Structure 1
Amino acid sequence: MNERKDVVIIGAGPAGIQAAIHAVRKKCDVLLLGRIERSALFSAHVENYACVAGVKTGEELLLAGLDQVKNFGAHLMEDDVLKVHQDDEGFGLELESGVTVFTRSLIFANGTARKKLKVPGEKEFFGKGVSYCVDCDANFFRNATVAVIGNASAAIDGALTLTGYAGKVYLINRELMASKELIAKLEESSVENISGTWVTEIAGQDAVQTIVLENGEQLALDGVFVELGAKGAMELALELGIQLDLDTMSHIDTNKKTETNVPGVYAAGDITGHPYQMAKAVGEGCIAGMEAANFAKKQKRKDKS
């Protein structure tokens, strides 16, 4: 099943919601992808945002924002993006539900936070067998034994990708939380799914050699991929050749119009760097939504001419 949109926004936090509001009000067909509970704002309390009196919960503000998005006519999908590519007509996004969405313009608004396992050995072996990006590092583990840690779509997709590189792939999770289509792909693969447990330690000498599970069992392996939640903005951005900031390589580089180096791709919110504040996210989301809508309209006119 394929769909085509004018503007697709990845991330349902304040930047993504504001972008959707402004894009759809420019009479564009807009899709907002994401789950509000993954936004950094969701569990926060807000009392420093202009024109909002008293203390509001992030959840309250995000739910109100989603109502606005729906009322203005944008489409919402609580789907994770697994892969993104560029084609002659714009961009294609493969979703965990099996749907592929094509769009004329794309906005990254899915934050930068990288969740950690917070277990002994994780920090010590980062870069020595511990990785947070399957797409970046899979090639270093050809014919090796690896484990992917995580419950959601990023972990499952990462494990499936690694079957094309590693000799043996484990998937460690408490409970799989992804679409039935993606879980079905996992069950048909060679990945050994170890469910109902978690990792308590990563161990080794100069590099990763074992992981320890909650029941004390140890698995001998060469690499550990931590993939918690949805695929991160950095991995998706790199698939399109989007330029990162040269100082830290941890944020997407944009200009004042929120444009990236790839025409038709914009970024807003935490993904563009400090300060990590709702006010900044909303402001950039406003600009990104309008600019992406304008770009999509220009492309539509070209298509008709």
Structure 2
Amino acid sequence: MNMDVDVAIIGLGPAGLQAAIHAARKKVSVVALGKSDSSALKKAEVENYFGIPLANGQDLLRIGREQAQRFGASIVEEDVIHLTKDGDTFKIITENDLEVRSKAVILAMGIRRAKLNVPGEKDFLGRGVSYCASCDAGFFRNRAVAVIGEESEAAESAILLSEYASQVYWVHRELKVSPRMLEKVAGKKVTMVPGDPARIVGEGSVTGLELKDGQRLDVQGVFITLGAKGSMDLALELGILPDPSGKISVDENCRTEMEMVYACGDVTGSPWQLARAVGQGSVAGENAAKAVRQGKA
């Protein structure tokens, strides 16, 4: 099966769906591909988005998908396994051998959060387990939390969470942060806990973190900060190289180094916030559609 479109968007998270909405409103043909289950927003609660006091991430994704379809975008729930360029046309192959040819591509694949891979991590995702302190710190006011990680992201997360939580435990093995960063942490209500996590426990939501040495931390939140990387395989196949920090570089119009290729959302770097993803998605969708209509990037 083949499909020819003006704009193909890879990713069904908030950035990809917003790009689909804006591109489709410009009256160009649009398809957005991916798995909606892969979006980190799906299991999140949102309280810091303009005009919405509190929202369920799954509901936002459903509404965004319906909006994109209402404006004429097609949605394909299939993973993209190949992305190449043939002359002036981009060729996309999905897991079920659907072939999509497009004039422009928007990369909105998000990032893969590094997993701890312990019992309870998956079960309590969105119910106490988080991979993003800047996204979820506000939900843990006056609660005890644990931060797991060795590098600067963990330190920064611990510092941020100390402004909200009643107690922050920083669980680590071998610290890989600067003395300056450790000084910043020392001035906060953060307790250093050397050790290896064994399991996350709870009933309905997180109630504790157990370590391999038998120690148990009574916490209501566990923030896993082991790093994150963009889903870069497709970008690399196309010939777009990530920068040293692992993100795709874009200009103010969300254009990448390759003509007619745009990127938006978490794949372009932090902060990993809904508002930023949506804002970049609108810019990428608008400019990709405009470029197609004008016949240039």
* TM-score under structure 2 length normalisation: 0.60
Using the alignment, how far apart are the partners of 1:114 and 1:51 within structure 2?
28
Q: Which letter does structure 2 place at the counterpart of 1:92?
A: K
Which secondary structure state, in structure 2, belongs to the residue aligned with residue 42 of structure 1? helix
Please report how far the alpha carbon of residue 254 of structure 1 lies from its aligned counterpart in structure 2 after TM superposition: 0.7
Matches within 5 A, 1:285-300: 285-299=281-295
Q: Which residue of 2 aligns with 1:41?
A: 41
Please report how far the alpha carbon of residue 233 of structure 1 lies from its aligned counterpart in structure 2 after TM superposition: 2.7
* TM-score under structure 1 length normalisation: 0.59
Using the alignment, how far apart are the partners of 2:40 and 2:84 within structure 1?
27
Does 1:23 pair with 2:19?
A: no
Q: Which residue of 1 aligns with 2:66?
A: 67
Using the alignment, how far apart are the partners of 1:117 and 1:278 within structure 2?
24
Please report how far the alpha carbon of residue 117 of structure 1 lies from its aligned counterpart in structure 2 after TM superposition: 7.1
Q: Which residue of 1 aligns with 2:256?
A: 260
Selected match of 1:238 from 226, 236, 239: 236
Using the alignment, how far apart are the partners of 2:32 and 2:93 within structure 1?
14
Using the alignment, how far apart are the partners of 2:276 and 2:21 within structure 1?
16
Matches within 5 A, 1:1-305: 1-52=1-52, 54-116=53-115, 118=117, 233-246=231-244, 248=245, 250-299=246-295
Which secondary structure state, in structure 1, belongs to the residue aligned with residue 111 of structure 2? coil
Using the alignment, how far apart are the partners of 2:114 and 2:83 within structure 1?
22
| 1:244–1:253 Cα contact (<8 Å) kept | yes
After superposition, the C-alpha distances for 1:87-122 in whole angstroms (9 at most, x for unaligned) are 113200011111110000000111011454737xxx
Gaps of 5+ in 1: 120-231, 301-305
Using the alignment, how far apart are the partners of 1:275 and 1:71 within structure 2?
30
Corresponding residue pairs, total: 187
Please report how far the alpha carbon of residue 51 of structure 1 lies from its aligned counterpart in structure 2 after TM superposition: 1.1
Which secondary structure state, in structure 2, belongs to the residue aligned with residue 275 of structure 1? coil
| 2:105–2:261 Cα contact (<8 Å) kept | yes
| 2:12–2:36 Cα contact (<8 Å) kept | yes
Q: Which letter does structure 2 place at the counterpart of 1:30?
A: V
Q: Which residue of 1 aligns with 2:204?
A: none
| 1:108–1:233 Cα contact (<8 Å) kept | no
Using the alignment, how far apart are the partners of 1:297 and 1:19 within structure 2?
16
Which secondary structure state, in structure 1, belongs to the residue aligned with residue 105 of structure 2? strand
Which secondary structure state, in structure 1, belongs to the residue aligned with residue 81 of structure 2? strand
Please list every run of at least 4 consecutive aligned residues from structure 1 whose deviation after the TM superposition is greater than 3 angstroms.
114-117
Q: Which letter does structure 2 place at the counterpart of 1:258?
A: C
Identity of aligned residues (%): 45
Q: Which moved more, 1:88-97 or 1:100-109?
A: 88-97
RMSD between superposed Cα atoms in Å = 1.9
Q: Which letter does structure 2 place at the counterpart of 1:276?
A: W
Gaps of 5+ in 2: 119-229
Using the alignment, how far apart are the partners of 1:239 and 1:117 within structure 2?
28
Q: Which letter does structure 1 place at the counterpart of 2:93?
A: E
After superposition, the C-alpha distances for 1:111-163 in whole angstroms (9 at most, x for unaligned) are 011454737xxxxxxxxxxxxxxxxxxxxxxxxxxxxxxxxxxxxxxxxxxxx
Please report how far the alpha carbon of residue 299 of structure 1 lies from its aligned counterpart in structure 2 after TM superposition: 2.7
| 1:251–1:271 Cα contact (<8 Å) kept | yes
Change (3 A) 1:50 1:27: same
Q: Which letter does structure 2 place at the counterpart of 1:80?
A: D
Please report how far the alpha carbon of residue 243 of structure 1 lies from its aligned counterpart in structure 2 after TM superposition: 3.1
